[in-house]
Chain A
Amino acid sequence: MSQQPEAEITLELGDIQGVITQGYGKFPNSRYLLLEIKDVDATKKWLSSIADTIVDSEWKELGDYAANVSFTFLGLKKLGLNQETCDLFSREFKEGIATDHRQRLLGDRGKSSPEHWKWGGNNGEKHFNKNPIIHIIWTLFGLNEEHINKLYEEHAKEIEAGGMIIHNKLDGLTLKDRKEHFGFRDGISQPIIKGSGMKEAEHNTVNAGEFLFGYINGYEEIPLSPTMPKELDPKDILPSLDSKNPGGPKDFGKNGTYMVYRQLSQDVVGFWEYMDQQADGDEEKRIRLASKMVGRWPSGAPLAKYPDKDPMKAPDSKVSNDDDFGYAAEDAMGDKCPFGSHLRRNNPRDAMPNTSDAKTSRDIVNRHRMIRRGRAYGKPIVDTMHSSDILKSPAAGQDMGLHFVCFNTNIARQFEFVQHTWVNDPKFHGLYNDPDPVMGEPDPELKGKKASFTIQQAPVREEVRDIPRFVEVIGGEYFFTPGIRAIKYLASL
């Protein structure tokens, strides 16, 4: 089990799928196609034809669309990846996103149970529903809806010719001012991959091995990668695990990563009705409470820096995109940005409880980061996305929410840890009954006691109780997003 590849610092950008290193801001629209392989040989031909069209990370300027591809565990097996290599994938990926244990870990119970999912949930041993098995996800990014439709038509033909069935097509949108449906600006905070060429604060620059196989991770180690003996790659497509040992094992994982995809349905009206109730109908109070829960104001301005009111600067201003802050010096007691808020608990930055100092905190916290590439779905209730307008126009039953997508090399230590320990655990930060107020699962073990949210302040905290669940999971799967050479390798099998 010991793998000692060399420690590389420069990333092989040409082999890394573009969606990992960039958010494709140029393309407001996206479509995710969930595919089942029927004819393996035809699919391999398709793979070989698309491999060179996939956007990598060496881009100077993007073309007029972008496409990327990822595989479920069953997908890799179906394509004939050998057993030994398959065994080296992580337990989470092999088991799939839906297992009895994972339901508890991720809070996928009640309405969020995989039994009710619209897609996915059948990659593991236990089949929770009758959804078809998914092998591949093909993600398309385009300029607008029309463009996406056109791209889809072309690609769908090729996919069908490639022996695959398109079971679902899920559309991602970019809403006004890059907001999510509750009306808060999203997609601001993001870790920077060390070696990617992007320059940012040192403390937000994370070792590449947290997001890509084949590099040093947050523990200064190379994560265990799915490798294979050299003989299994006779055409010499894959990189060697150790470039100084060309006769040694080949690294299928190199430049790849895991992609977590969960479709999260948001109860927007329920969210604002709850806030409104707590605020006795007062608009300012209602927005303040929701912002305390999120950790940023609707405009995006962080509470840690702008505690009193939303500065409401322009969407692309420095203030609205401000990510240059910590909590240790500015807000150790949580009076500005509460400990339990979505932002703070999903990244406690330099003020992780029970750590000795800010630097230690950052080091520990940075082992639980992920690259988020989510996109909204569904038409907003009102285009302004202002709470007062939302409350005036009751939703006409349409579904809306977030395609939550993130990339990480260790699902258990990154996505699942965050979802369980930081999001769902009501005891986070020494709290009592406070899961993530925005999207956490109120602990069903608490028998009728719904979630609370504590707002730290002097002289004594404020607390709201009986918070219902605003976000439900309606689909999901774990994928592997391979390096481009690994895609070619799969095509060659």
Chain B
Amino acid sequence: MINQHGLTIRASIKDGKEDELRTLLNTIGDDVIRSNKLPFQKLTTVHYMRFVMVEGRTFGQKKIAPSLFLSTNFDGPLNDHLKQIVEVAGEGLDLIYEHCVGYPEPGKANSANRIAYLQKHKIRTTTFYTGTRGRSVAQIPQEESLFDRIGSGLLNKRSWKGEEPNDIFKAIKAYVHTTKGLEWAKKLSKPFPLQYYLAYYGQLLAVVLLLLFLVIGLLPITAPFVLAWYLTLHYHEKHDTRKDQLIPMKRDQILARREDILIQNQMTHLVDVKPGFFRLYTLKFVLWAVGFLGKYYWNKGELGGIPTIHFARWVLLDGGKRLLFFSNFDGSWQNYLGDFIDKAAVGLTGVWSNTINFPKTTNLIYAGAKAEEPFKRWARFYQIPTQVWYTAYPNISVQNVNNNSKVRERIGGKSTSESMADWLRRF
């Protein structure tokens, strides 16, 4: 098992360089697999990677330059990941970041100063979610091939009618043990290191203790605080106004140009947070809660009941003025948004009700996304094009990844309470 992380890098684009950069990125994005500028497939630490250009803005006195976002979902320590990016894709990075402020002059870039640049422009990922926890970039296709080969090499060869599940399992195990190229599957993948578990349960314990303390120890303070928060929310929900806007056709078509090419899709979404500190802090709390639940509760491949999300993240920008969302998912936009409404409306309404023009909500988490057409119009309106998007295993769904691991674990000898008959249903 390996620890997966989200890296977000934000660089300001030089004045007047936006169009040039967009053209460059679009050329790369049109054919990521064959891009010779960025040999993505050699980036063995990368599950997903994207480059997105975000428009500049002015907030009051403050002017924010247009920026380039680089996001990766990666395995293992950050330093190894950065090192791999600059070593494998250094030239491509130079071509891209030449358009950005502060990047080493042409010809002067080297591994050290490229890493320094990326480190310096790294920003905090507010909330990170993974649907395939612990599985590495290499492991996911490897386990897929195990599944496929058991099917084609053994199960499809004859009828198994009337045989005992345990005997079939023995046959599968024997097949894996004697088949060239599947030796690795005799053993389980390495467990998470001890530090991982210490940190994981340590944080859980800390949160539980803090909550207990707030609820029991500090009740006289907590209760009025929560009440005041609730009344304020009520006030805002009553008085917030909204515009219902339809995305212009042209913009919609730019988004569609990159959709449904693979069975997986991506989304980049950017919307202003409602003004005022009340909404910002409510949002921060909800994002924290979603991250927490994503880690401790929705950690078996489903985010709030949605079984198609590989990785997702929320990033608060510009001191909490804007909320950026990246997602990598299986299936179409309609399916994804439909799942949001049908299965996870409460969670996502809790987040996005704090951003502008979101359909009207009640009690923070109700109504809102349940208004299907207005919600879909809102979601599409604030979606922005992703110029470059790479996925390391385009033909494998989240459900496949998680099912493959269950197949592999049993063969590798992991104990499980699942009956053998149920396990065989995984094929």
* Given A367-B338, A461-B427, 15 new contacts (CB under 8 A): A1-B377, A91-B249, A104-B261, A105-B260, A105-B332, A217-B372, A420-B334, A421-B331, A425-B331, A427-B330, A445-B261, A446-B395, A459-B421, A460-B160, A460-B427
Within 8 A of B (CB), among A413-432: 413, 416-417, 420-421, 425-427, 430, 432
Which A-chain residue is minimally distant from B332 (CB atoms)? A420
Among A421, A430, A460, the most chain B Cβ lie within 10 Å of the Cβ of A460
**Known A-B contacts A105-B260, A459-B160; A224 and B332 likewise in contact (beta carbons under 8 Å):** no
Q: Is the CB of B249 within 8 A of A459?
A: no
Kindly state the interface size class of chain A when it binds its partner: 35 or more
CA distance A430 to B402 in the complex (A): 10
CB contacts (< 8 Å) of B403 on chain A: these are 430
Total of A-B residue pairs, C-beta within 8 Å: 117
Q: Is the CB of B334 within 8 A of A421?
A: yes
Contact of B372 among A100, A101, A219 (CB under 8 A): A219
CB contacts (< 8 Å) of A426 on chain B: these are 263
Q: Is the CB of B427 within 8 A of A101?
A: no
Chain A nearest Cβ from B8, distance in angstroms: 28
CB contacts (< 8 Å) of A99 on chain B: these are 256
Question: Is B240 an interface position by the 8 A CB rule?
Answer: no
Q: Is the CB of B421 within 8 A of A417?
A: no
CB contacts (< 8 Å) of B332 on chain A: these are 105, 417, 420-421, 425
Which B-chain residue is minimally distant from A334 (CB atoms)? B425
For B248-264 the 0/1 string (1 means CB < 8 A from A) is 01001100110111110
CA distance A251 to B342 in the complex (A): 29
Within 8 A of B (CB), among A140-163: none
Interface of B with A (CB < 8 Å)? Answer: 147-148, 151-152, 155-156, 159-165, 168, 244-246, 249, 252-253, 256-257, 259-263, 302, 305-307, 330-332, 334-335, 338, 341-343, 370-374, 377, 394-395, 397, 399-400, 403, 421, 424-425, 427
CA distance A24 to B152 in the complex (A): 47
**Known A-B contacts A91-B252, A221-B371, A364-B342; A465 and B156 likewise in contact (beta carbons under 8 Å):** yes
Q: Is the CB of A425 within 8 A of B263?
A: yes
Chain A nearest Cβ from B297, distance in angstroms: 15
Question: Is A456 an interface position by the 8 A CB rule?
Answer: yes
Contact of A94 among B162, B164, B249, B397 (CB under 8 A): B249
CB contacts (< 8 Å) of B425 on chain A: these are 333, 456, 461
CB contacts (< 8 Å) of B427 on chain A: these are 460-461
CA distance A481 to B342 in the complex (A): 29
Identify the 4 closest CB pairs spanning chains A and B, nearest first.
A1-B244, A219-B372, A427-B397, A101-B256
**Known A-B contacts A91-B249, A101-B260; A445 and B395 likewise in contact (beta carbons under 8 Å):** yes
CB contacts (< 8 Å) of A221 on chain B: these are 371-373
Chain B nearest Cβ from A210, distance in angstroms: 11
CB contacts (< 8 Å) of B330 on chain A: these are 427
Chain A nearest Cβ from B36, distance in angstroms: 20
CA distance A417 to B331 in the complex (A): 10
Q: Is the CB of B400 within 8 A of A427?
A: yes
CB contacts (< 8 Å) of B163 on chain A: these are 459
